[in-house]
A and B are shown apart, each in its own frame.
Chain A
Amino acid sequence: MILNITAVFLCIAILVMAVIAVIHKKLVIAIIASGVVSLFASIIFLLLAAPDVAMTEAAIGSGLTTIIFFYVLNKIRKESNG
C-alpha cells in the first residue's frame, strides 16, 4: 500500500517533470528536468522489481545522457556567442 502511494507520487512527479522538460523555454532547465525524469524512472524500475534496469537507467539515462546534452548545449552556446 505504501509502495503504491509512493509510486503514485513518483509518477505525478515524473509527469510534471516531463511536461517541464518538453515545454520549458530554457534549455538548461529542460535538460535537467529530463535527467530528473530518468532518475525518477529508475526509482520506479526499482519499485517494479527491476534493479538491473534501474541501475542502467540511472547510469546511462540520467547520468551520461544528461552529460552529453550539456556538452552539446555548451558548445552550441559558445558558437552562438562567438
Chain B
Amino acid sequence: MEYISLITGFIMLMIGLWGILSQKNIIKIIIGFTIFDTAINIIIISIGYISGRTAPILDKAVPVKDAVTKIVDPIPQALVLTSIVISLGVTALMLAYALKLHKYKNTLEINKFKDLKW
C-alpha cells in the first residue's frame, strides 16, 4: 500500500516538475506547483503509514492502552496539514501575481516577462 502511493507520489512529482519547467503559460506553471505539492504530501503520508493500522484517533476502536500497536505515525500527518495550508497560501499569492502580470502585458506567456536580465 505505502509503496503504491510512494511510487505514485514520486511519478506525480516528476509530472509536476515537468509542468513547472516546460509549460509556457503561467497558470499552467502554477498548476504544476499544486501537483508538485500534492505529490510531496502523498509521499509524506506514505512514509508515516504502517500497513494494517488505523488513524491516530484514540476513540473506542483504538483504546488508549493499545494505541502504540494500532495507529499509524501521526507526525507526518501533522506536517502535511501544515504543508497543505502553506501551499494554499503560496498558490493564492502566485495567482494574484499572475493576475497582475496579465494586466501589465495582456499575456500569460512566461517568456514575455524578460524585462530584467543580465
Name A's B-contacting residues (CB within 8 A): 3-4, 7-8, 11, 14-15, 18-19, 21-23, 27, 30-31, 34, 37-38, 41, 44-45, 47-53, 56-57, 60-61, 64-65, 68-69, 72-73, 75-76, 79-80
Contacts and interface: CB of A to CB of B under 8 A. Distances in A.
17 contacts: A7-B5, A11-B5, A15-B11, A34-B31, A34-B34, A37-B38, A44-B5, A48-B5, A49-B53, A49-B71, A50-B55, A53-B41, A53-B81, A60-B88, A61-B38, A69-B95, A79-B102
A49 B12 CA distance: 21
A15 B5 CA distance: 11
Contacts of B55: 49-52
A23 B1 CA distance: 28
B5 to A, nearest CB: 6
A73 B95 CA distance: 9
B67 interface: no
Contacts of A19: 15
